[in-house]
C-alpha cells in the first residue's frame, strides 16, 4: 500500500539571473547562501564561457545560466509548459517540450546545457539519449544534478544519482567526466540553512520554533562560512557531495 506524500513545506525559490548591476548583486548574494547554486556556477562558468556556435538549454527554467555564455552564441531554451508547477514565470521565447522528446532533428546543436533537471525526469536515461541525438559530433554537454537535496517541486522529484550511475548514463557520448560539487561540510551547512528556512515559515508553532531557530541560526552561519572555505580549499570529503557536474563530449 502506497501512502500519499506529505505536502511540500516550502517551494524552492526559482533562480533568476537579472540584467543590470542590481541583478548581478542579487545573484551574487543568492550564491553566497545557496551552496547548490554556488557549486553549479563554479562548475559551469569555465565550461560555458568556452562554448561557441549553438546552445540548447534543456529544462531551462528562467534561464539563470544564460549570462555565463558568450554573447555571440545562438541560444535556445526548452522546458515543459507547466512552469507554474516549479514556481517559475513562463517566457515567450522558450520552446515547449514534453520532458522527454526534444523537438529538434538529429545533430542540431553544437552544445547542450542541462542544469538540475534529470532528477525531475521520469525517464532520465531516455532524456540523456535524446540529448545525445540532437548534439553534433564533437559537441559538448554540461549538466548538473543534486545529490544531497531535500525533496523539491513535489511530486516532480524522482531521482538521486551517484557518480557511477551518471557515468553509465552518459557513456554513449564517448568522453565523460563526472565531478563532485561541494563536500560533506557544504552538505551540513546546506541542511542547517534549510532547517532555518523551515523554522521561519509562518505558523502558530513559531512559539516553539523560535528557540530552536535561535540555536540553529548562528550554527548555520558558522557552517556556511566553513563550507565556503572548504569548497575553495578542499577540506571536506567528496564521498558526500551536494551534487555532481557532468562534462561530456560526443565522439
Reply yes or no on whether the pLDDT at 1 is more than 50: no
87 or 200, greater pLDDT = 200
Average pLDDT over residues 139-168: 95
CA distance 195 to 213: 8
How many angstroms separate the first and last alpha carbons of the chain? 46
Reply yes or no on whether the pLDDT at 2 is more than 60: no
Reply yes or no on whether the pLDDT at 4 is more than 80: no
Q: What digits encode the pLDDT tens for the residues 192-206?
A: 999 999 888 877 677
Q: What digits encode the pLDDT tens for the residues 16-37?
A: 776 788 888 889 999 999 999 9
**pTM (two decimals):** 0.92
Q: Is 220 in contact with 192 (CB distance < 8 Å)?
A: yes
- Provide, rounded to the nearest whole percent, the portion of the chain with pLDDT above 90: 76
Average pLDDT of the chain to the nearest whole number: 92
Give residue 154's pLDDT band: very low, low, confident or very high (50, 70, 90). confident
Q: What digits encode the pLDDT tens for the residues 62-84?
A: 999 999 999 999 999 999 998 77
Q: Is 35 in contact with 190 (CB distance < 8 Å)?
A: yes
Reply yes or no on whether the pLDDT at 10 is more than 80: no
pLDDT of the residue at 88: 77
- CA 167 from centroid of its chain's CA atoms: 18
CA distance 141 to 113: 6
In terms of phi and psi (left: phi > 0; alpha: psi -120 to 50; beta: otherwise), the region of 174 is: left
7 or 224, greater pLDDT = 224
Reply yes or no on whether the pLDDT at 89 is more than 90: no
Reply yes or no on whether the pLDDT at 191 is more than 60: yes
pLDDT of the residue at 6: 55
Q: What digits encode the pLDDT tens for the residues 127-152?
A: 999 999 999 999 999 999 999 999 99
Residue 194, all three cell numbers: 534549510
Structural domains in the chain, CATH included, are 20-183+240-250 (3.40.50.150), 186-228 (no CATH)
Q: Is 99 in contact with 118 (CB distance < 8 Å)?
A: no
Q: Is 217 in contact with 25 (CB distance < 8 Å)?
A: no
pLDDT of the residue at 82: 81
Reply yes or no on whether the pLDDT at 121 is more than 90: yes
Q: Is 160 in contact with 147 (CB distance < 8 Å)?
A: yes
**Long-range contact pairs involving 95-101 (C-beta distance under 8 Å, separation at least 24):** 99/59, 99/127, 100/126, 100/127, 100/130, 101/130
Amino acid at each position: 500500500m502506497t501512502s500519499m506524500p506529505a505536502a511540500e513545506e516550502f517551494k524552492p525559490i526559482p533562480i533568476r539571473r537579472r540584467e543590470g548591476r542590481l541583478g548581478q548583486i542579487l545573484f551574487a548574494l543568492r550564491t553566497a547562501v545557496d551552496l547548490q547554486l554556488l557549486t553549479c556556477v563554479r562548475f559551469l562558468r569555465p565550461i560555458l564561457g568556452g562554448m561557441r556556435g549553438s546552445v540548447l538549454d534543456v529544462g531551462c527554467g528562467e534561464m539563470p545560466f544564460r549570462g555565463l555564455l558568450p554573447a555571440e552564441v545562438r541560444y535556445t531554451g526548452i522546458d515543459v509548459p507547466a512552469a507554474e508547477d516549479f514556481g517559475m514565470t513562463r517566457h515567450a521565447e522558450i520552446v515547449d517540450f514534453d520532458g522527454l522528446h526534444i523537438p529538434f532533428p538529429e545533430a542540431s546543436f553544437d552544445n547542450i546545457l542541462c542544469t538540475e533537471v534529470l532528477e525531475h525526469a521520469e525517464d532520465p536515461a531516455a532524456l540523456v539519449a535524446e540529448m545525445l541525438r540532437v548534439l553534433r559530433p564533437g559537441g559538448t554537454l554540461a549538466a548538473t544534478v543534486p545529490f544531497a537535496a531535500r525533496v523539491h517541486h513535489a511530486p516532480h522529484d524522482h531521482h538521486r544519482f551517484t557518480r557511477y550511475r551518471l557515468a553509465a548514463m552518459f557513456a554513449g557520448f564517448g568522453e565523460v567526466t563526472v565531478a563532485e560539487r561541494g563536500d560533506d561540510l557544504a552538505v551540513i551547512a546546506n541542511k542547517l540553512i534549510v532547517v532555518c528556512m523551515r523554522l521561519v515559515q509562518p505558523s502558530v508553532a513559531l512559539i516553539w520554533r523560535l528557540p530552536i531557530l535561535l540555536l540553529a541560526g548562528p550554527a548555520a552561519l558558522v557552517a556556511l562560512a566553513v563550507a565556503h572555505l572548504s569548497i575553495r580549499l578542499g577540506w571536506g570529503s567528496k564521498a558526500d557531495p551536494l551534487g555532481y557536474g557532468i562534462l561530456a563530449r560526443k565522439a
